[in-house]
Structure 1
Amino acid sequence: MKATKLFKEFFDSEKAGGLVLIACTIVSLVLANSIFGTDYRDFFQTKVVGLTLEHWINDGLMAIFFLLIGLELEREIYKGELSNIKNALFPAFGAIGGLLVPAGIYLVFNYGTDTQAGIGIPMATDIAFALGILSLLDNKVPLSLKIFLTALAVIDDLFAMLFIAVFYTKTLIFTNLFIALGIFALLLVFNRIKVRNLIPYLIGGVVMWYFMLQSGVHATITGVLLAFAIPFGNGNEKSSSYILQHILHKPVAFIILPIFALANTIIIFSGDLSQTLTENYSLGIALGLVVGKPVGIFLLTFLAVSVGLCKLPTGLNWKSIFGIGLLGGIGFTMSIFITLLAFESDTIINNSKLVILISSLIAGLLGFLTLKMTLKTETTDEI
């Protein structure tokens, strides 16, 4: 099985970016709990053009991250693993299972409570971290497993973005929303009449982002919309989509996500840890990520294959699928992102971030050990 040049680039940037994320997270945790903690926290609350730095990062820079995710999803749909219905169904069922089971577990502990809004937290998968862990086994990992994890995480993020748009929009200003959607429609017209220059799309994307931000819908949705407005063409190296995706890979992996980690892992270690970990929302997040993700991904893919809706990709076995399911429990970036939208209490946000961090660490470690034991020693495919 051969991988496209762009997929290899995507995989390489994401796996290296995952290691950078780990380093930034450690730095952030150390600074947040040091004598510089107050200054460090206050720095991200500095206002620039009416918004705090944290706001610019979470609503602005992360829109660029989702633009890259949207471009990768578009490529997967047109030319990649998702272009064939049979191939696409396997990771799609895995993603759905990895959404429904964690959400169900979270609801068991939080239904009808003030923290019910956190249902989206354990549904997320962090692509960079998951691929970063997988890269530690790089000489043993079949290409089909890398593609499965990437497709699974991309579909997962798409569902997460839809979930954010539907359930975490608190106040809706229709005038601004219609203007944003009108700009999106105009960009689709540009696409239709074969405007290939990226500049009109990028300018339109910035204006669309502004009005989306003012509408009440989370502005990062703009990134995904813009991705599907940009011409894909035949997907070769001269296409607008390919060029932009190539440009964004390294800045997203090595600048945007690390900055997000620095700004959003300011977690204060205080209070009774045992009490924090036994809160209903903590149990929902932890069990959702560590147990719900692998069980949901494994169960739904197994059932789908059993009834003939899809087939197990060549070179994979059910043990490796369960291992990938565990890596799917690394929520981190997306889980923290949803936490900021779901809760208003600083204490609950801080505690949730801590639980996400611990749960993602456990899921990543278990996934690594499971795959290390189940994958064959020899290289089965090279990317």
Structure 2
Amino acid sequence: MSLLRSARFPAIILLLAAVLGLIVANTAAGPAVDDFMHSYFGIPSVFELSVSHWIKDGLLAIFFFVVAIELQFELTSGQLNSFRKAIQPAIAAAGGVVVPIIIYVAFAHGSEAAAGWPIPTATDIAFALGVLAVFGKGLPPALRIFLLALAILDDIVGILFIAVLFTDGVNFGMLIAAAVCVVAFGILSRQLDTRGRFPIIIALIVLGLATWVFVYQSGVHATIAGVVLGLAMAQQPALHTRHVIEPWVNGLVLPIFAFSAALVAIPAVSASELSPAFWGILVALPLGKIIGISLFGWLSLRIGKGQDAPALTFADLVAAGALGGIGFTVSLLLSELAFADADLVRDEAILGVLAGSLISLILSGVLLSWRAAHYRKLAAAEPAPVAS
């Protein structure tokens, strides 16, 4: 279990799962697996979903629950708990959202692919931390904190896009029922340290499932249920819950989603026939993130000068920008949502996410290794402290 709580190993599993999904989709087994993903199960005539929807609406809600717990901690007790701490990574994150959108729209404007503009705005926290753990030995704490804050803020943007852009025909009765369950969930979670744990845990699970069902039935994307539950839960029980389920999320939930999302047949067409969605994402993820994060990040350092600004250089920000281009999990989900009614464009968008994230992964590995070596060299050159 300790391996699945580390930063490196889950990122490797995630990458292997996506590669396996891509391979399977392009073999003779592909059609059978695709049929299985579109088969339905659940309670007949009451609540049935396809396997694909159980994964991206159900399992992925657990992932967003864990993400929301981390967001809650960082916003209240961690690296984003004050305006001063949050402003610099927030400005850099804004650049990492705006510039990729501009690049994507330049490719897709006027085509059916235009609806995919949110796709290249995401950063995958699991992958980012994995790459940072592998290649970032020796990096200063200021850069690590900046990168973590950047990834978290990007996740907030992705969550907002899912909640606002991909909600249609809201059933407010169901939404109110979900809100009541969330309030009860938050209140009950604060009783865990004062009363019998087991009955309360069972009640929390029931309330969590009820919230998910009501949110799904309301028309809001069901993963938002995980977000609001993670934010509503009392902090200490939430952190303990995150610790308990994190290995399952890293070792099961995310790899299953990566495998299912990557089940895309590579189109037998020339490069010129590929959708603008593919090219827009392929360029916007690596290039857009590097330009946006490095330039806006540089601006944020100028704004924060003299206010305990982290000692980062422009080269550090370029490395951070490359890392931000690993969209993966949230970008894959946004691809599914943006092109739910256009299978071919959706598949090419997913290929763009995989290819763009891979390019960013390689670039960030090279750049982080370079910056880490630079800082290790500086540390080695510092004179040893004189013993008193």
Matched residue SS, 1:172:
coil
Cα–Cα, structure 1 residues 379 and 276, in superposed 2: closer, same or farther, change >3 Å?
farther
Cα–Cα, structure 1 residues 113 and 178, in superposed 2: closer, same or farther, change >3 Å?
farther
> How far is 1:99 from its partner?
1.1
Are residues 1:212 and 2:215 paired? yes
2:8 is matched with 15
Deviates more, 1:197-206 or 1:362-371: 197-206
Report if the CA contact (8 A) 2:4-2:10 is conserved. no
> How far is 1:102 from its partner?
1.0
C-alpha RMSD of matched pairs (Å): 2.3
CA–CA distance in 2 between the matches of 1:12 and 1:98? 28
CA–CA distance in 2 between the matches of 1:372 and 1:32? 34
1:264-343 matches, cutoff 5 A: 264-277=261-274, 279-308=275-304, 312-314=309-311, 316-343=312-339
1:178 is matched with 176
Are residues 1:24 and 2:17 paired? yes
- Give 1:206's aligned amino acid: L
What TM-score does the superposition give when structure 1 sets the normalisation length?
Answer: 0.88
> How far is 1:312 from its partner?
4.1
> 1:317-353 CA deviation, whole Å, 9 max, x = no partner?
2212211111111111111100111012111111111
> How far is 1:111 from its partner?
3.6
1:78 pairs with 76, 79, 96, which one?
A: 76
- Give 1:369's aligned amino acid: V
> How far is 1:273 from its partner?
4.2
1:1-383 matches, cutoff 5 A: 13-49=6-42, 50-190=48-188, 194=191, 196=193, 197-232=200-235, 239-277=236-274, 279-308=275-304, 312-314=309-311, 316-343=312-339, 344-376=341-373, 378=376
> How far is 1:61 from its partner?
0.6
Cα–Cα, structure 1 residues 241 and 374, in superposed 2: closer, same or farther, change >3 Å?
same
> 1:42-90 CA deviation, whole Å, 9 max, x = no partner?
2222211121111101000100000000001111112211123322222
Cα–Cα, structure 1 residues 10 and 141, in superposed 2: closer, same or farther, change >3 Å?
farther
Matched residue SS, 2:118:
helix
- Give 1:36's aligned amino acid: A
CA–CA distance in 1 between the matches of 2:149 and 2:355? 25
1:236 is matched with none
Report if the CA contact (8 A) 1:125-1:329 is conserved. yes
CA–CA distance in 2 between the matches of 1:89 and 1:242? 25
CA–CA distance in 1 between the matches of 2:70 and 2:297? 22
- Give 2:215's aligned amino acid: M
Cα–Cα, structure 1 residues 12 and 376, in superposed 2: closer, same or farther, change >3 Å?
farther
Cα–Cα, structure 1 residues 11 and 276, in superposed 2: closer, same or farther, change >3 Å?
farther
Report if the CA contact (8 A) 1:94-1:300 is conserved. yes
Report if the CA contact (8 A) 2:178-2:211 is conserved. yes
Matched residue SS, 2:373:
coil
Deviates more, 1:135-144 or 1:170-179: 135-144
- Give 1:329's aligned amino acid: G
Matched residue SS, 1:272:
coil
Gaps of 5+ in 2: 43-47, 194-199, 380-388
Report if the CA contact (8 A) 1:201-1:230 is conserved. no
What TM-score does the superposition give when structure 2 sets the normalisation length?
Answer: 0.87
Q: Which runs of 4+ in 1 moved over 6 A?
A: none
CA–CA distance in 2 between the matches of 1:27 and 1:379? 39
Matched residue SS, 2:169:
coil
Cα–Cα, structure 1 residues 379 and 151, in superposed 2: closer, same or farther, change >3 Å?
farther
CA–CA distance in 2 between the matches of 1:302 and 1:285? 24
- Give 1:272's aligned amino acid: V
Report if the CA contact (8 A) 1:70-1:227 is conserved. yes
CA–CA distance in 2 between the matches of 1:79 and 1:125? 22
- Give 1:204's aligned amino acid: L
Cα–Cα, structure 1 residues 174 and 246, in superposed 2: closer, same or farther, change >3 Å?
same
> 1:135-190 CA deviation, whole Å, 9 max, x = no partner?
22143333333332222111111111111111111222222112112222333444
Matched residue SS, 2:304:
coil
Report if the CA contact (8 A) 1:127-1:153 is conserved. yes
Report if the CA contact (8 A) 2:178-2:215 is conserved. yes
- Give 1:319's aligned amino acid: A
- Give 1:341's aligned amino acid: L
- Give 1:160's aligned amino acid: G
Q: Percent identity between the aligned chains?
A: 34
CA–CA distance in 1 between the matches of 2:39 and 2:143? 43
Matched residue SS, 2:112:
coil
